Amino acid sequence: MSSVNRRTFLASAGSGAAALALGATARALGPNDTIRVAVIGFHGRGGSHIGAFTSNKHTAVTTLCDIDTRLFEKNAKAIEDKTKKRPECVQDLRRVLEDKSIDVVTIATTNHWHALATVWACQAGKDVYVEKPVSHNFVEGRKMVEAARKYNRIVQTGTQNRSNKGVADAVKFMAEGGIGDIFLAKGLCFKPRGSIGHKTDSAVPAGVDYNLWLGPAPERPFNANRFHYEWHWNWDYGNGDLGNQGIHQMDVARWGIGKGDVWPTKITSSGGRFGYKDDGETPNTQVCTYRWDDLELIFEVRGLPTNEEQGIRVGNLFYGTKGYLAINGSKWQSYLGQASAKKYEEGPSGDGGGDHFGNFVEAVLARDPKKLHADILEGHRSSALCHLGNIAYRTGRTLTFDTKTETFPGDEPANALLTREYRSPFSMPEKV
């Protein structure tokens, strides 16, 4: 790549023409080649990416990328100790996308970077493993799907329950009529979330590229309560626990009711940040209701002390005309009858027997997105339900969703929350 083209790509940060030029030079993989992986973002969940791709015989982590250079030495040394090869450490993800030797990027950044990084990666000819929720808002999730299809990329979503045999068995049991016709599903996210307190704005820590961390988000001073992990509770970067832990159970709920690409037509949400006052914006208590013609899905977030439901704190419940079914981790149980709740069937225990990262590698080697357990389209649909619930919460009213236009007819405040204002030059391209 010439220096002029390189500068154009870095300056435009996602220009379709520049990125397409990169994509045309993507490395062709043979069956005996090692897949070269770059892990982007590894302060939290990215550590699991490092572990998975340094352990798979078909992959090698050759590059680490994070806006916080303080994380480099420890993680690079761990990879070197394990593999005898030291990865390159890069602060700017755009440099990673320029590197023609990299085949796969994995993305475990803040939510507000997931979509743009994925679209750019597809344009640059990389396959992608992107963490949940795949997007920060509804519209950019659709852009991710468009980019994956246009550039023929393999894009896996980090909703690992899709590779969990226990959960898959439960879904199959319900699809075969095990509890009759499902009329109600519940997603439960009961995780303790204490106050994050109050912190004043401060200087950016040494080694952190804060401008790059902000990326598409509005310009704001640095604050530790909007940085590592605590960003989840701020609308500019995160989606609350509905889009943090809750997306896993939302995905199982959507999978279990079998609606596929059928959107709900009515969405309601209420709640609040109760029990304490702190710098967080998102609710620690939230109830969302999604209505289809023949069933409802209720999703509940409880961050304060609470009881369990059917022994579940994080999991799913499904109610059918013959009985109900509970999923708790990899275990599931179904019950028949109105009064006795007699145990009818019990699913497997253990870790579920699935390898979500391995499934992604298998699809990359085969160049076949149909092999994916959690293709980007499935990730978009489940993430979008979280976004719709949050929009209903933020507007404070029941919303009517047009499933054809994917908008809220005549409701401009709600429609505005389907997307966001992007900070230049970190803009989602109009055409991917």
Do 101 and 239 share a domain, yes or no? no
Q: Are residues 392 and 317 in the same domain?
A: yes
In a domain, 170, yes or no: yes
Give the chain's mean pLDDT. Answer: 91
Within this chain, do residues 115 and 181 fall inside the same structural domain, yes or no? no
298: in domain: yes
Q: Do 246 and 115 share a structural domain?
A: no
432 located within any domain = no
Residue 420 in any domain: the answer is no
Do 44 and 103 lie in one domain? The reply is: yes
What is the mean pLDDT of the segment spanning 23-31?
62
Mean pLDDT, range 354-365, rounded to an integer: 95
Q: Are residues 125 and 256 in the same domain?
A: no
Evaluate whether residue 59 is within a structural domain: yes
Tell me: pLDDT of 365 over 70: yes
The total number of structural domains that make up the chain: 2
Per the structure, the complete domain to which residue 75 belongs is given by 3-160+356-374
- Judge contact between 323 and 344, C-beta under 8 A: yes
Q: Find out whether 124 and 98 touch, Cβ atoms under 8 Å.
A: yes
- Indicate whether 86 and 126 sit together in one domain: yes
Instruction: Give tens-digit pLDDT for 124-144.
Output: 999 999 999 999 999 999 999
Whether residue 144 lies inside any domain: the answer is yes
Question: Where does residue 15 rank: exposed (0-12), middle (13-18), buried (19+ CB within 10 A)?
Answer: middle
On the question of pLDDT at 64 being above 70, the answer is yes
For residue 415, tell me if it sits in a domain. Answer: no
| CATH number of the domain within which 311 lies | 3.30.360.10
* Rounded-to-10 torsion of CA 72, 74, 75, 80: 110
Residues 6+ apart with CB under 8 A from 176: none
153 and 193 in a single domain? The answer is no
Spell out the residues 6+ positions from residue 306 whose beta carbon is closer than 8 angstroms to its own: 190, 313
Q: pLDDT band at residue 46, thresholds of 50, 70 and 90?
A: confident
pLDDT tens digit sequence for 172-187: 999 999 999 999 999 9
Residues 218 and 303 grouped into a single domain = yes
| Domain contains 289 | yes
CATH number at 97 reads: 3.40.50.720
Q: Do both 328 and 363 map to the same domain?
A: no
| Same-domain pairing of 320 and 395 | yes
**Whole-prediction pTM:** 0.93
116, pLDDT greater than 70: yes
Per the listing, tokens 């007819």 go with 409
